Amino acid sequence: MPIINTLEIYEDLKSQFKEDEARTLTKALEKSLEEYQRKQESFLATKDDIAKLREELKDDIISLSLITKNDIANLRSELKDDIANLRSELKDDITKFQIETKNDMTKLRES
C-alpha cells in the first residue's frame, strides 16, 4: 500500500494530461512509491530483530567472560609453576655457589 494516495494524483493529472498519460504517470509513481516502501521496510529493524541481537550479544559477552576467566586461571597456574621452577633453580644455584665457596676457602687455607 503506497504512502501517498495515487488516486488523487491521477485525478489531478487527468486535468493536465490526456487520460492515458495520466494513468501511465500515476502507475509509474505508484510503482516507484511501492519500491521505496519495500526498500525502507528492509532497512528498518523490528523489535524482534533488536531483541534477538541483544540476546546474541549477551551470549557472546558471557562466552567471552568465561574464556577470559579460563585464560586468567591458566596464566596463574603457569606463573605458579614458573615461580616454583625458578625457586628450585635458585636454590640449586645457591647450593652450588656455597659448595664452590667452601672448596675455594679450603684451597686457600691449605695454601
Residue-level pLDDT at 55: 96
Query: What does the pLDDT read at residue 3?
Result: 57
**Distance (Å, whole) CA 111 – CA 108:** 5
Write the CB contacts of 53 (distance below 8 Å, at least 6 apart in sequence). 45
Q: Is the pLDDT assigned to residue 46 strictly greater than 60?
A: yes
pLDDT of 33 > 70? The answer is yes
What is the average per-residue pLDDT within 66-88?
97
pLDDT over 50 at 78, yes or no? yes
- Share the mean pLDDT of the chain: 89
Q: How far apart are CA 82 and CA 76, in angstroms?
A: 10
Match 562466552 to its residue by C-alpha cell. Answer: 63
